[in-house]
Chain A
Amino acid sequence: MEEKLLEILAELCEDDVVKDSLTIDLFEEDLLDSLAFAELLYAIEEQFGVIIAPSAVAREDVNTPEKIIALVREKLDA
């Protein structure tokens, strides 16, 4: 899951840096804007069947690759 998720993230951020720096702030570093974030959630739903509502998560809970992976894993395990 982790590898696939990072692939998706790298494509949406148009930068492979997200695969190596798992703690990089995706919003602060201009890697992800609100539309790309919306696309990411859609891709996560399509790929893993996991629904994340942006209204239910604070931005600081999904601002790094690491946190996004952890959230998807938590939902998959639930």
Chain B
Amino acid sequence: MTILEKIRENAARHPERLMMRLPSPDGEKTLTWGALDKDSDRLASYMEKNVAGKAPVVVYGHKDPLMIVVFLACVKSGRAYCPLDVNLPPARILQVIDEVRPEIVFATEDFVTDRTDVPLTDAAGIRHILETHTGRIAPSSYAGPEDIFYIIFTSGSSGTPKGVQITTACIDAFLSWAITLGRGVSDEAPEVFLNQAPFSFDLSVMDLFLTLYTGGTLFALTRGVQSDMRLLLEALGASGAHTFVSTPSFADVCLSDPSFDASLLPCVKHFLFCGEVLTNKTVERLMSRFPDAWIVNTYGPTESTCAVTDVIVSRALNETESPLPVGRPKKGTTLLIVDGKQQPLPDGETGEIVIAGDSVSPGYFGNEVLTREKFGTITKDSLTLRTYRTGDAGYLKDGMLYYAGRIDLQVKLHGYRIELEDIEANLLRIDGILQAAVIPKLRQGKVSSLAACVVTASPVADEKEFEARLKSQLKENLPEYMVPKKIRFLKDLPRTANGKIDRRAVGELL
């Protein structure tokens, strides 16, 4: 059964059940399955009647249940949705809007722009539509298997974000495997999935779509709740969560409080991790606090729908393997390890990880050149499979995948994917900056922060003041996690013999 059919079935069976809970300072916001189905139908039929083309729809907000209604309305009317979180700076949001050229932008939170050409419908506007339009929508209007379901923008090395397109078929392929990670759904007791990541970060696909497919309840944590330990623990305690979906970094933050344990979250059965390296230390600490829970490590880039490998991290595995493996490929996915000439490497040798299979994206939105560079096809068992070159280094050992860093300038910081060249390009756009290099700083094998070295056109009188000014200028265009923690000023950047920036030497200067 496809995801959209499954959602309709879940709503029909349990209309009163909560599909989403969002604790907030003004009280808890909730959405029932019945309201999700009815309201998304109303909004979809409004779009069918009032929006001319089928361009992707931009959805701006932060975890409001109304966002889920809008997402579903888009795909029910055969349109892709593109989620943008409020934590992105307005300039970045407008960049995406200019790229997508949506016919309609739905905002569930205040969206500030002077631009009159943004076709904005705000939260009051959405509610008005839901109150005044009563139409239903036929499944024949739904996004088809090869139609784009969502577009998630990630950091791009040119300094402009790139939109990863995921089809309905990709999601169905992903879900047919992902439901085996969060087993044990019964009609009587809905599974509660914990949501940490914003919807513009594809880690949220794991919890949101598992909730939608299994008829469960999504318990979402806002950024405000996550940044205040007292509120966070209170929310976790009230969640009744069965499946905890997060980055390992978020689990580390939770673990810093002694009360984060099985007595706070007595129902937790699974920890599903994705987005960055899971360390032995994090696993060890989790096992001591949650002795009965399963810890599952997964791996996959946005381009292959959230995740494509999984492994249950047992006590024995955690004691014998360091670094931990990221798992075996799901059914429908083939992993290849290739050398610089794209030739397959034997077991145990490190090369670039290439993912082939049914959950690989058809490419980047409106960017044929980059799509051709990163995506391709292979034939396996007389089936043509899409491939994606991840840029991740790794090796296979008896079918188990191990991650071994990057082969290019992409890094993961607290689970966020960042192209260092994206930050450099944004630094170079600032007046007076001639050269820039951004370097990841590592602690215990993980990127802990970013630092930049810049060369300015004229000498800097007050470095501290200028550093603060550069950071605030970067914040206008980049999300906060992409702004380097430290900026150093140099007369020139160290270069290699062939004139390229010598990143190793820059790193040593920092």
Which residue numbers of A lie inside 8 Å of B, CB to CB?
Answer: 11-12, 14-15, 30, 34-39, 41-42, 51, 53-55
Residue B486 CB within 8 A of the other chain = yes
Do B230 and A55 have beta carbons less than 8 Å apart?
A: yes
**Contact A55 B448, CB 8 Å, known A34-B227, A35-B249, A38-B252:** no
Which secondary structure dominates chain A's binding surface? helix
Q: What is the bound-complex CA distance between A37 and B414, given in angstroms? A: 13
Please classify how large the interface on chain B is, using the bins under 10, 10 to 19, 20 to 34, 35 or more.
20 to 34
Instruction: Note all chain B residues with C-beta closer than 8 A to A55.
Output: 229-230, 232-233, 257, 259
Do A35 and B229 have beta carbons less than 8 Å apart?
A: no
Do B448 and A54 have beta carbons less than 8 Å apart?
A: no
Which residue numbers of B lie inside 8 Å of A, CB to CB?
Answer: 227, 229-230, 232-233, 249, 252-253, 255-259, 414, 441, 443, 448-449, 451, 471, 485-486
Do A54 and B229 have beta carbons less than 8 Å apart?
A: yes
Known: A38-B253, A39-B256. 10 other contacts (CB 8 A): A14-B451, A30-B485, A35-B253, A36-B448, A38-B252, A39-B252, A42-B256, A54-B229, A54-B257, A55-B232
Identity of the chain A residue whose Cβ is nearest the Cβ of B414 in the assembled complex: A35
Identity of the chain A residue whose Cβ is nearest the Cβ of B226 in the assembled complex: A34
Q: What is the bound-complex CA distance between A30 and B451, given in angstroms? A: 12
Residue A14 contacts which of B229, B253, B441, B471 (CB distance < 8 angstroms)? B441
Q: Quote the shortest CB–CB distance from B156 to chain A (angstroms).
A: 24
**Contact A53 B258, CB 8 Å, known A14-B448, A36-B448, A39-B252:** yes
Name the residue among A15, A30, A34, A39 with the largest chain B CB count within 10 angstroms.
A34
> Inter-chain contact count A-B, CB under 8 Å?
44
Instruction: Note all chain B residues with C-beta closer than 8 A to A51.
Output: 258
Do A14 and B449 have beta carbons less than 8 Å apart?
A: yes
Instruction: Note all chain B residues with C-beta closer than 8 A to A37.
Output: 256
Q: What is the bound-complex CA distance between A41 and B485, given in angstroms? A: 21
Instruction: Note all chain A residues with C-beta closer than 8 A to B227.
Output: 34
Instruction: Note all chain A residues with C-beta closer than 8 A to B229.
Output: 53-55
Identity of the chain A residue whose Cβ is nearest the Cβ of B255 in the assembled complex: A38
Q: Quote the shortest CB–CB distance from A57 to chain B (angstroms).
A: 9
Q: Quote the shortest CB–CB distance from A45 to chain B (angstroms).
A: 9
Q: What is the bound-complex CA distance between A12 and B257, given in angstroms? A: 18
Q: What is the bound-complex CA distance between A53 and B441, given in angstroms? A: 27
Identity of the chain A residue whose Cβ is nearest the Cβ of B483 in the assembled complex: A30
Residue contacts A-B, CB under 8 angstroms, 15 given: A12-B443, A14-B448, A14-B451, A14-B486, A30-B485, A35-B249, A36-B448, A38-B252, A38-B253, A38-B255, A39-B252, A39-B443, A42-B255, A54-B229, A54-B256
Instruction: Note all chain B residues with C-beta closer than 8 A to A42.
Output: 255-256
Do B414 and A15 have beta carbons less than 8 Å apart?
A: no
Q: Closest 5 A-B residue pairs measured CB to CB?
A: A38-B256, A54-B229, A55-B229, A41-B256, A38-B253
